[in-house]
Every structure is written in C-alpha cells, then in structure tokens.
Structure 1
Amino acid sequence: MHSFSQILFEDGYFISTSNQKIDCLIKNMDWKRNPGEFEYKLTQSAMIQTATIETVKEFGIGGISKYIRAIVKIDRSSDNINSMSSERNPVFHEERLFLKVLVEGEASLFLYEDKNLTRFFFKNKDSEIEQLVFKRYRLNNKIVQNEYYKQQLLNNFESQNLSSNDVRYIKYNRKDLEQFFIKANNQTGTEYSSYNSVEKKELFNLSLRPGLNVSNLAVQNASSDFRNVDFGNKYGLRLGIEAEFILPYYKNKWGIITEPTYQYYSSTKSETKDISGGELISEVNYQSIEIPVGVRHYFYLNEKSKFFVNVSYIFDFSSNSSVEFTRNDGSLLSKLEIEPRRNLALGIGYKFKDKYGLELRYLTDRELLGSHVQWSSEYRTFSVIFAYSLF
C-alpha cells in the first residue's frame, strides 16, 4: 500500500449480499461523510466499477478502515441553534446505512457522519446495533444536553466490571468512546480490532516564505487629471511565515493557510506639469504587513511531489505609507496617507518532500486611497515565492 496521501485505489475487499467476498482495489476517499457507494477495480488495469449499499453488506481497505451495512434507528435532530428542537428525546427514523467500524469485538463501536451530523452506535455481544444517544435541545431559552449515552454504557457494560466512574466523564467524541470500548474488551479478555485511518503525521506545517514581488501602482484624481500617475512596475522583496493546518480527512488534500508577510513598494516619478516650477514630483512609499487567510488543495504526483492551488483573502496593515506630490523646489503640494483595502490572492505551486516549495501568486487589484474623496488607485502584485518548511 502506498504511504503518501493521494486518493488512489488500495488493496481492499467487499462482501456482496450473496455473502461472496471479493478481493479488489478500492478508491480510498478517506470519507468525511459515510459513503453510500464506492468505486473499485478487480485489478490495477481493470475498468472502474461502482458498488452501492444495495449490493454490498461490508467493505474494507487494508487494515485501516472498515464499513458494515446495517439497518438502524438514527436521530438526525439538528445542533443548529436556529433549527434546534425543544424536544428532549431523540426522534428516531429507521435507515439503512454504511457504518464505520471503530472498535470491533465483543463490545463494538461504530460511527456515522453526514454533513454536520455525528452519531455513534454500539453493539454488545449479540445485541442489535443501537445509537448512543446524545442530543442538544432548548429548554427555557437555554441549550441543554440529553446525555443518555452514559446510562446506555452503564446498563450494557456493567457486567464487564465497568462502573459509573468509568462513564461519568466520557464525552460524546471518538477518542473517549474508543478508549471506553477498548477497555470494555480488555476487561473480558476478548480479542478486538481497532481501525484508525492512516493520516498525515504532521497536521500543522510552519514555513519560511521569502520571495520577489513585481508591483505596480496607478493613482487617479476624479476632479483633475494632472496628478494622475502610473508609478510603473517595481521589484521588491517580500518575507512571510506561513502556518498551514491540514484537515484530517479527504486524504489530507485540503488545508487552511495564513501567512503574515512584510512587503514594500517605493517609486518616484517626475513629470512636466503646468504648476509653479513646471515640474511635478510624485513619490510613493508603501510598506505593510499582509495577512492572507485562505484554503489550499493538493494534487499528488508521487510520494515526494505534489502540486497545489490556493485562494486567500488578504487583510493589509500599512505603516508610515503615503503618496506625496511636490514641486521641483521641494515644496509640498499634497500628501495622501495610504489606507489599504482588502483583496484576494490566487496561487499555484509545487512542493517537494514536504520541505521545499515554489509558488506563483497573483493578487487582485488593491485600493490604497479609498478613504480619500476624489481619489482612487490600483495596486497590482505578482509574486514568486520560495518556501522552506521548518516542520
């Protein structure tokens, strides 16, 4: 099995409704939501086929994930404040679902996720699969919780030498419930399996990102064009430090990024104008800290190489920045303080060994003079960014 986080076909199997076990290659999507179908191939060169919950009762990928088909009663009550119910008890509906197996043994734990819904199910010995009940609801303009799952655990596993102390502080999350079910199996000395998807070891990356900006600034005055200036393209250095948070599903192909960056732009332009002295000198000095916040998506080539694209929304904070117009004798005609607006950044890049990277980034037009009546501006930047991951 490949160790890098690419969505690919991996060794697996499924059991049909006629109880036939078929070894195959399954497209591992590292599903955030429990699937209702999956794609598979009988061999690496064979055609891609689709298997559905209608025809499959169980499937698994290596030793890292397993799903079983079950008809269960599930409560889909919303946790959204605007649509939250005032009913304390769960509202069950019978559905046929693929449940993700988390712990399998005499005491088994299952997971179902769909959009913003997370539900855990359990089975003890030969009992039917049952939902562990946790529900938020409204009571007297407050949000309270029905934590009946704790009583369910106590009722069903008291014979495994587990007491109220073992369930009192258990939260309705994967970590706590997995630990409880593993303990329940250990208490009886029965064998069990625990399924944990292989995920990227580091879900947080920190990188130094120096680079080169090619920037252009043009300013316009709506009432008089004699101070309209195109300052032209200028090269400038930029230095950023990027924090990247990898989302722990979809094979680690999505991330949230932020990159505080220092950048500057400086230019002077002299033009003959009909003013005292006959010459207008326009000068801009603009330095700021940009804070882009965005999302990134990876496209894996092999174990060492991957491309990525990202889009960010940029907050920009300038300091000691202005556009000045002076006469040739040095006297000040006018001065405009720079107060930048927000804009977008679009990037495409390449990463090697999760250590070295290169990105080409285009920034949409940024308004620098929006607070000045009669003035407008267009600040454009194209960046070549080099990256070195610290961890």
Structure 2
Amino acid sequence: MKKLSLLAGFLATSMYYAQIKFEEGYFIDNSGAKKEVLIRNVDWKNNPVDIEYKTDNASKVQKETISNIQEFSINGGRKFIRAKVMLDRSSGNLNSMSYTHEPDFKEETIFLKYVVEGKAGLFYYEDGNLRRYFYSSESSEPKQLIYKPYYIDQASIAYNEDYKKQIAEQLKCGITAEQIKRLDYTTKDLTKTFIQYNECSGNQIINYEKKDEKAKSLIHLNIRAGINTSELNVYEPSNITPSYHFGNKNSFRIGLELEYVLPFNKNKWAVFIEPTYQYYKNSTEVVTLPGSLFETRYTATADYKSIEVPFGVRHYFFLSDKSKIFLNAAYVLDFALNSTVTIERSKMDIESGGNMIFGAGFKYDKFSAEVRVGTYRGLFRNYMYVDGDYRAASFILGYTLF
C-alpha cells in the first residue's frame, strides 16, 4: 500500500507539467491591425475579459485585455467580438427574482461569442449563472434577445419572452409564426432559427456551434478492473491498537464507470460514478495469555464483500490529442454483502460506512491505468462496544467502451 501511495504522489506531481496548449489564432487591436498569434485556449465557460498569447512557441506569454482587443479567434474554433451593449443582468434565481416585467438594462462592454455569423448574427454571453443571447442584423450593433422570468406575486412566475417578438420583426424570411411560438431560449433552437433565416436570404453563414461540437459534453462507459491491497482491523473497547489485525491482502476488484465530461474548459473536467465489486477475506491466529497455563489459541476470520459506489470529480491534464494524465477524488457509498467477522464463536455482521478515495492516472486513447488510495472506512455502525475499519489502495486498468 505504501508503494502505491508513493506512485500516486509521483503521478500527481508530474501533472504540473501538463497544460492547455496555445493554438493558432489572431486578434484585432484598437488600431484595426490583425495580429497572428498563438492563443491559450482554455475553452472558456464564462465569456473572457482578456486573453493570454505568444507570438511563437519560443516567446514569452503575454496578456491583452478587452480594452485593447476588438476581436479574437482561435483557428477552426471560437470567435469573440467586443461590443458595447445594453445588458440585463436580472436574476432567474427564485430567491432574487424581480417583480418587474421590463429588463433592467445597463451599458457594458463585453466579449460576445459568435454562435452564427451571417447577415443575421447570433451571439452568446455567459457569466456565472447569467446566460444571454444577442443578435445583429445587417451589421448593426448587437442587441440582447429579451427573456426574463419575474414574479407576478409571491406564488406565481411569469416570463417576458420579447425575444420572440424581436425575431419575428427582424427575421422575416423562412420563419413561420408557429415556429416562433414554439421557440425556446436555448442555443439549439436559436441556432436553428438563425441558420434557417440566413439560408432563406441566400447569405453565407458560419455555424460556430457546429464547429465547436468537439467541445460538447461526452458520456463514456468504462470497464475498470484491478487489484486491491487492503487491510482490516477490529478494535475492542478502550483499545487504541487493533485487537485483531488481519493484515494486508491482495484481491481482485471489477467495476463499470459512467463518466460525464463537462462541456467547458477544454473538456478538462468530468464527473463519474463507478459501481464496483470488491472483496477481502483473511484470517489471523489469536493467542490469549501466551506462555501461561491458560494460554488459548483460536482463529479470527474476516469475510468482507461489498458493492462500492464512488461519486466523484476528475480533472484531466492533456499531453496530446490521445494522451492525458488525470486526478480524481470521490466519496464512496459502500453496501456490504453478507459480510462478517468471526471471533471464536462470536459472529458480527459488517455494516460499513462511507469514505473518500483519491486517485491519479494516465489515459492513452481507450486505455487507462490508475493508482487509487482510500481513507479508512468504518465497518460496525450497528455495534456500540466494538469498532473496526478497512482501508484499500488499488491499481486499476480501464478500457473505454464508448
């Protein structure tokens, strides 16, 4: 177990050297000059206020802010423009929602992300829980598409859906009244509508939503098999040291992991659940009153089987398109299966608690390897006068089915 812990530490330290790549792109400064540079692509969840860039791979990293950039783009990916807009930051949170139908506009200078570029342009802005769409027509300045939930009274919510009226007035080719009636304030619906209008008008378009598909959320199913190195201890009342130490034991474990890769920050974050079967079986000889006339020997046996269900978060550090290092942490719910500890003629049922696990690993294409260490897990929740714990370190090999 100690060796596995050291290996996990080594892998974690090595992740320091893995980072998001600088990718080819450009920005246009206030003078209108277009500069071809390498931009640090962090796959922004929130619209950025600055960028980091290098003039070439060997140069130092520089930063430029929104006050000095009119536009920037990463080749084959996202494009942002600076715009001075009237922005409504009204909250959609039930605890802070307003009672006003009208948007509360304030002038701000922000970067807008292109969703559809054409005669009629669609833009997106996100800042924390705030999500807003903007449109432009015939190269006009972007204007917000208005959507606002608000209270009518303490028990009733209404919705200002003026974005439907705006679209009906501005996009008058190929869009029916029935479509607008069913139009939701979502990227999918708005993108489809703006593409339909531009195609009907015979205009060239760039669909950045389609170009950005690789950054969308992904769901993976992974088979995960490996070896546990485990130890189990039982404590009697008032004893700090284990009364029964069953020692380290190697055993097989197998699980099925469902991983959801989050659609931001360059797909570096994921959440997962991994139901896993594990078992530990060992025995130890116990000697009481050794060397005396009343010396007694007997065998204590631990038979522990369970389904572990970790709920965790994972962070990837990309080394190349196919290889990456990762760190993860999870809380484990454990469900014991007919598990007991037998001491002389006394048999105690194991009722296990939860614990934390921490892991580090490497993935290449569909194959992965991970070293994982868990904290101590209680075993006898239903007993007042006996205690016990279990701890495991694991070496896990994985294969991604999809």
Length-normalised TM-score, structure 2: 0.90
- Provide structure 1 residue ranges, at least 5 long, that are not aligned to the other structure: 327-331
Structure 1 letter corresponding to 2:351: E
Answer with 174-183 or 79-88: which moved more: 79-88
Q: 1:224 to 1:125 in 2, by over 3 A?
A: closer
1:23 counterpart (10, 14, 36)? 36
Residues 226 and 212 of structure 1: CA distance in aligned 2, closer, same or farther (over 3 Å): closer
Q: Share of identical aligned residues, percent? A: 42
Q: Alpha carbons of 1:269 and 1:151: their partners in 2 closer, same or farther (altered >3 Å)?
A: same
Q: 1:200 to 1:74 in 2, by over 3 A?
A: closer
Which of 115, 120, 143 is the equivalent residue of 2:157? 143
1:198 deviates by: 5.2
Q: CA deviation at 1:97?
A: 0.1
Query: Alpha-carbon deviations, 1:64-121, whole Å to 9, x = none?
Result: 2110000101111112222222222211111000000111111010000111111000
Q: Which amino acid aligns with 1:31?
A: W
Helix, strand or coil: the match of 1:320? coil
SS of the residue 1:199 aligns to: helix
Which residue number corresponds to residue 359 of structure 1? 370
Distance (whole Å) between structure 2 residues aligned to residue 227 and residue 273 of structure 1: 14
The answer to whether structure 1 residue 65 and structure 2 residue 83 are counterparts is: no
Q: Which residue in 2 is equivalent to 1:42?
A: 55
Q: Which residue of the partner structure matches residue 335 of structure 1?
A: 347
* 1:155-180: CA deviation from partner (whole Å, max 9, x where unpaired): 2223x253312211111111110111
After superposition, give the CA deviation of every residue in 1:108-147 in whole Å (9 maximum; x if it has no partner).
1000011111100001114331111111222331333221
1:230 positional shift: 0.7
Check whether the contact 2:217–2:262 (CA below 8 A) recurs between aligned residues: no
Among 207, 224, 228, the alignment partner of 2:243 is: 228
User: Which one-letter code corresponds to 2:33 in the other structure?
Assistant: Q
The 2-side partners of 1:161 and 1:380 are apart by 64
Partner Cα separation in structure 2 for residue 290 and residue 253 of structure 1: 25
* Candidates 322, 338, 348, aligned match of 1:320: 338
1:8 CA displacement:
1.2
- Judged with a 3 Å threshold, the aligned counterparts in structure 2 of structure 1 residues 278 and 63 are, in CA distance, closer, same or farther, namely closer
Match of 1:9 among 3, 22, 31: 22
Q: Is the Cα–Cα contact under 8 Å of residues 100 and 151 in structure 2 kept in the other structure?
A: yes
State the number of aligned residues. 379
Provide the rounded CA distance (Å) in 1 between the counterparts of 2:64 and 2:373.
42
For the structure 1 residues 106 and 209, does the alpha-carbon distance in structure 2 shift closer, same or farther, using more than 3 Å as the test?
same
Which residue does the alignment assign to 1:329? none
Corresponding residue of 2:127: 114
TM-score by structure 1 length? 0.92
What is the CA distance between 1:376 and its match in structure 2? Answer: 1.7
1:307-359 alpha-carbon deviations (Å, 9 max, x no partner): 11100110111110111211xxxxx2x22211111100100001112x11110
Q: Is the 8 A contact 1:240 1:262 kept in 2?
A: yes
Higher mean alpha-carbon deviation, 358-367 vs 278-287, is at 278-287
Aligned to 1:166: 179
Does the Cα contact within 8 Å between 2:175 and 2:193 map onto a contact in 1? Answer: no
1:376 counterpart (373, 387, 402) = 387
User: How far apart are 1:225 and its partner, in Å?
Assistant: 8.5
| Whole-angstrom distance in 2 between the partners of 1:233 and 1:155 | 73
Higher relative contact order (CA 8 A, sep 6+): 2
Stretches of 4+ aligned residues off by more than 6 angstroms: 224-227
